[in-house]
Structure 1
Amino acid sequence: MEVIELDEEELNSYGGKLLSDGRRGLFIHGWEIESRRGSILNSSSVLQWEQKLKTSHLPEMVFGENSLILKHVSSGAKIHFNALDALIGWKHKSLPPVEVPAAAQWKFRSKPFQQVILDYDYTFTTPYSGSETIEIDTEKGTSGKLSDGSCNLIWEYCKEQIDVVSLASKEPILYYDEVVLYEDELADNGVSLLTVKVRVMPSSWFLLLRFWLRVDGVLMRLRDTRMHCIFKSKENPVILRECCWREASFQALNAKGYPADSAAYSDPSIISQKLPVVMHKSQKLKLPCPSMKA
């Protein structure tokens, strides 16, 4: 995918403009698309997050200030992605820990004189597929601030799927970014990584939220959430969302003739089709009319 930097005049010719106030992103066809980046959590922030999540375990690198925000301005609907909500999903789901012969050795490296009991999901696998709110301008007449409404967006199950052929067309990329939410290298025995990517074209926006897990020699897990919204000037936007979870043990892959060496599985995009699907669902969201904000 080739991303060409457009100047402001070229961006305007496609109906877009850069966000103001030094924010990273653009406004196009009623959508405000913004990505935010910051440093990893410091020690005091880690303690605060552990208290919020009621846990003493967090990934090695948590980018607590990173986020991706897509806001449909006229309806107030906002879809956003952040590490805290993703970890709330991890904590709530609380999967059993992956059993691995080397697990105790990982922990003994840092605490060689303590017996180790793995009683939590150290892979930080999350069912997270994004966060959403409807922001209601209840205080415009006073302070001009926006406050979150209590209503949630309603996704409906459907048989429609994202048109990947149209996404492969050679449209110019008006905006692209990849935001890391958290990462853990499992003490050099694999990777646990949650990222979200967005790209904006003249006709639509598309994003991929991906959780990628590789426990070397044991297990691979891929949880993808894709969203696509086509710009339509005379209709309220419709967002298609596809969630697909894939998973396989190294043993099962080796039995099918795939390599047993973990080095062969560094890029999830290349090996995703080798992993069997354990869950797939398609949903769509019709954004509310602006009148619903009243």
Structure 2
Amino acid sequence: MAEWGGAEESDLKAAGAEKLLEGRCGIRMKGWLIESYKRPILNSSALREWEEKLGTSHFPEMVFGESSLFLIHFKTGVKLHFNALDALRGWKQESLPPVEVPAAAKWKFRSKPTEQVILDYDYTFTTPYCGSETIEPSREKRISDDGCGNLHWGDTDERLDLAVLSSKEPILFYDEVVLYEDELADNGVSLLTVKVRVMPSCWFLLLRYWLRVDGVLMRLRDTRVYCAFDSNDNAGPTVLRENCWREATIQSLRAKGYPSDPAAYGDPNLIIQRLPVVMQKTQRLKISSLADS
């Protein structure tokens, strides 16, 4: 459920922010529209449509296909959005080999109990997805005279200002959206969520893919996106994105003296520092016209 962080109407007014009306969940502030949608799990007919779109019959147990989070910058038309369909496209393209687990023999019957199903695909639904971005068509003319614009992420040495998250600023808006989830036949969890927090000075979001295969593996792929509000209305938004992938086998953690009991690994926030970094990079969103590219 969306929260307003205990912010009073006076806090919203002082920050130049306003809640969305008519049952919508989000906030309008400093030239940004930030809105979340939470919808039920996809039904069987919708999943059949997704099978055609993605070319696969394999899906997580719970796909919240109509749930999403998006952020639109009015002046430039930049739209950042997070959804399950694009995340599963990333899973399909990456196509990791299936994790070998002792319980795999039992899992062969998980999808179709009357029929043996060989797990020859990445049943963890691990995705490299770090979000989607577009320029809203109605706003492209503000990017370039010919009505065309490009968005791309360029590597940067800049760092996200994570200290702002522990500041005493009021939280004007907060929400968490689950995109998909699978309990791996009661042998762990595969979970993709996106959280957003809006404060008077910035917005911050965390897209997190969390995998725990009991007794075997833990994998954490975090994408943090940060934007400080600019007082210059004519400037484009400065958006930074940090990708950090961590992974460790339970065997390697046990060798370091950490417990192997799955109950010790229920919350990724409590064990994140135990997982070694596989890859980390920071990028900055760049906006340019075709003439500049």
Q: TM-score, normalised by structure 1?
A: 0.90
C-alpha distance 116-104 of structure 1, shift in aligned 2 (>3 A): farther
What residue number does 2:144 align with? none
1:86-235 correspondence to structure 2 within 5 Å: 86-108=87-109, 111=112, 114-137=115-138, 151-234=149-232, 235=235
What SS is found at the alignment partner of 2:151? Answer: coil
What residue number does 1:80 align with? 81
Gaps of 5+ in 2: 142-146
What SS is found at the alignment partner of 1:270? Answer: helix
Gaps of 5+ in 1: 141-148
What SS is found at the alignment partner of 1:155? Answer: strand
Matches of 1:109 and 1:24, distance apart in 2: 36
What SS is found at the alignment partner of 1:191? Answer: strand
Residue identity matched to 1:243: N
Matches of 1:204 and 1:13, distance apart in 2: 14
**Are the counterparts in 2 of residues 34 and 70 from structure 1 also a CA contact under 8 Å?**
yes
Matches of 1:230 and 1:111, distance apart in 2: 49
Q: CA deviation at 1:108?
A: 3.3
What residue number does 1:45 align with? 46
Measured against aligned partners, the alpha-carbon deviations of 1:201-238 in whole angstroms (never above 9, x if no partner) come to 00000000000000000000000000000001113220
**Are the counterparts in 2 of residues 3 and 172 from structure 1 also a CA contact under 8 Å?**
no
What residue number does 1:272 align with? 272
What SS is found at the alignment partner of 1:232? Answer: coil
Q: CA deviation at 1:287?
A: 4.7
What residue number does 1:59 align with? 60
What residue number does 1:145 align with? none
What SS is found at the alignment partner of 1:153? Answer: strand
**Are the counterparts in 2 of residues 236 and 288 from structure 1 also a CA contact under 8 Å?**
no
Q: TM-score, normalised by structure 2?
A: 0.90
Q: CA deviation at 1:286?
A: 4.0
C-alpha distance 169-23 of structure 1, shift in aligned 2 (>3 A): same
Residue identity matched to 1:175: F
Measured against aligned partners, the alpha-carbon deviations of 1:163-182 in whole angstroms (never above 9, x if no partner) come to 11222111100000000000
Q: CA deviation at 1:109?
A: 5.6
Matches of 2:231 and 2:165, distance apart in 1: 19
Matches of 1:176 and 1:263, distance apart in 2: 28
Residue identity matched to 2:61: E
**Are the counterparts in 1 of residues 170 and 200 from structure 2 also a CA contact under 8 Å?**
yes
**Are the counterparts in 2 of residues 191 and 214 from structure 1 also a CA contact under 8 Å?**
yes
Q: CA deviation at 1:133?
A: 0.3
Number of aligned residue pairs: 281
Matches of 1:156 and 1:201, distance apart in 2: 26
